[in-house]
Structure 1
Amino acid sequence: MEKQISITWIKSTIGYPQGQRKTIKSLGFKRLNQTITHTDTPSIRGMIFKVNHLLKIN
Structure 2
Amino acid sequence: MAEQKTLKVQLVRSPIGTQASHRATVRGLGLRKLNSVSELQDTPAVRGMINKIAYLVRVL
Alpha-carbon distance in structure 1 between the residues aligned to 2:17 and 2:40:
26
Unaligned segments of structure 1, at least 5 residues = none
May I ask how many residue pairs the two structures share in their alignment? 58
Unaligned segments of structure 2, at least 5 residues = none
TM-score, with structure 2 as normaliser: 0.92
2:6 partner letter = Q
* Deviant stretches of 4+, over 3 Å: none
TM-score, with structure 1 as normaliser: 0.95
Bigger Cα Rg: 2
